[in-house]
Amino acid sequence: MQYRVLGRSGIAVSELCLGTMTFGNTTNESDSIQMIHRFLDAGGNFIDTADVYVSGQSEVIVGKVIKERRSDVILATKVRFATGDNVNHVGLSRKHIMDGVEASLRRLNTDYIDLYQLHVWDQITPIEETLRTLDDLVTSGKVRYIGCSNFLAYQLMKSLSYSDFARYARFISIQPQYSLVSRQMDREVIPLCLEEQVGVIPWAPLGGGFLTGRYVRGQEPVEGRLSSKAGESRWELRNTDKNFRILDEVTAIADEIGKTPAQVALNWLINKNGITSPIFGARTLEQFEENMGSVGWRLTDEHWTRLDRVSALEDDYPYRFIEKFARRV
> Catalytic residue numbers?
53
CA distances (Å), origin 82, targets 87, 124, 147, 193: 9, 14, 19, 28
Nearest residue to 23 (alpha-carbon basis) of 59, 63, 77: 59
Strand partners for 171: 146
CA distances (Å), origin 132, targets 112, 170, 233: 18, 11, 34
Rounded to the nearest angstrom, the gap between the alpha carbon of residue 201 and the centroid of all alpha carbons in its chain is 4
Under 8 Å between Cβ of 121 and 153: no
CA distances (Å), origin 259, targets 107, 255, 265, 294, 315: 38, 7, 10, 9, 31
Rounded to the nearest angstrom, the gap between the alpha carbon of residue 54 and the centroid of all alpha carbons in its chain is 17
